[in-house]
Amino acid sequence: MPGRARIIVTNELPADLHWASAWQLREAVVTRRLSAVEVTRHFIERTARLDERTHAFFTLAADAALVQAEDIDRRIHRGEPVGPLAGVPISVKDQLWTKGIRTTGGSLVYVDHVPEQDSLHVLRVKAADGVIIGKTSTPEFGMFWRTVGRVAPECLNPWDPKRTAGGSSGGAAASVAAGFGPLALGTDAGGSIRLPAAMCGVLGVLPSNGRVPRHGSFGTTLFFSGVGPICRDTRDAAILLQLLAQPSVEDPLCRLDAAPDYLAQLDQGIAGLRLGWWEDRSVAREVDAAVIAAIRAAAFGLGSLGAHLVDDAVTFETDGIDKAWRVLDFVDRYAALGEALHGDPAARSKLTAYAQERFAWAKDVSGADYSRAVRRRAEFIRSFEAAFRNCDLVLSPTLGFTAPLIDSVGPAERIPALVAYTLAVNLAGFTAASIPCGFVDGLPIGLQVIAPPNQEALVLRAARAVEQAWPWTERKPVM
């Protein structure tokens, strides 16, 4: 990271509207400097013109978006109250249901599926007057680390189209990085928000288990599958997370307490916080030493903001957690969706190779295997909690290399080192964010900030401190 920058706070919109933050756009709309229709048309037209380069979207919902925008403008003209996302374009990962808008889950089985209801998350965005501009690409049911499948061409990285945008929320991250919208809804069961965010140079937030209710999507699991924001601005993340994180009777496993006020704590800084550094030496030969060194320098640079880096490095007992995660994740998806699809020869023939492989593997997992995985998860949570006795936040790489070249990996190849730092957080049920922290060889890298359950406000404070000291939005991909 460079030296600390002087921050100039301004509400002026950038010359290029597509790089404006969500809160700036909302302010421009409610003060009638811009209409919601003008903003919506700008992003729809930009996406339609440029997305051939990235394939970030499966479906653009231009007509429905303009109807939403027109209604918002009418209410503003009449002096009626509008929501905290009034006129803000937002994309939705195609795993989440959208009433009247095609939702495929990235699967040929559902290629023409149009839901009759919205997911809980989409309902909350609409209630806040966010404008749904379309559905971003996902691998089938969010089950692969590249956003590749049989519904549409693979999603490509805006910084280098020869590289992956990551997965499974690759379309969401690519859409934000490319300036197709300031906000995107993603999902994350093992790194699916944070990994694409790191590869595409944007902010991605994983809420802790149960903080955001689950209702209305393909591929939900009991322990994982968090829904969270992907964006370029920490304030935007706080606004969206505030909407998503309230309890709901639709999800019997969600938290029942009201979420803290994330905006109220956002600018409290990180002075006095104890920060630990976690570096997984078991994957040292599988990562890029230059990337690890750059992220480590960014992490230790937080000491200049008044935080205290603890002396002892953080370690976790990670033996067996990859298998435990696979059992819990794969079996839950099989129970919710895979059993019916894999058991139907016609449906099975439409599935990707990786979906067929996962469902077949899950079919043979025994009840005893599942019980052992639940126990290993409980043990791991204890070890994760122990690390936070001396730390308020744990810092790590989001991943130890830049976005891989697509041609360098097979279409269904799994890379264990890819999720070395993210999967553990999901298994423990903690909260984390991937924060842009620089570039290596012209490609973005991400710093992961981890906090205990229900401490999303602390993660957002850290992201905000980094954003203010070393602004990450100044460098943009050439589109």
In sequence order, what are the residues at sequence separation of 6 or more whose Cβ sits closer than 8 angstroms to the Cβ of residue 174?
54, 56, 136, 137, 147, 155, 156, 157, 158, 165, 196, 200
Which of the residues 168, 175, 217, 225 is marked catalytic? 168
Catalytic residue among 192, 217, 225, 396: 192
The radius of gyration of the chain from alpha carbons, rounded to an integer in Å, stands at: 21
Beta bridge partners of 432: 206, 450
Q: In what order do the strands lie in the sheet with 443-451?
A: 57-60, 131-136, 89-93, 183-188, 226-231, 203-206, 431-440, 443-451, 393-397, 274-277, 308-309
The CA angle 219-221-227, to the nearest 5 degrees, is: 75
Quick one: CA dihedral 471, 474, 475, 479, positive or negative? positive
Please say if 192 is a catalytic residue: yes
Catalytic status, residue 396: no
Q: Tokens 């195609």, residue?
A: 94
Helices within 310-422 (DSSP H only): 321-333, 339-342, 345-348, 353-363, 367-387
Dihedral angle computed from the Cα positions of residues 258, 259, 261 and 262, in that order, rounded to the nearest 10 degrees = -170
Q: What one-letter code names the amino acid at 227?
A: V
User: Which of 432, 441, 448 lies closest to 399 in space, CA to CA?
Assistant: 448
Note if 168 is an active site residue.
yes
The catalytically annotated residue of 21, 91, 93, 217 is 93
Q: Which residues are designated catalytic? A: 93, 168, 192
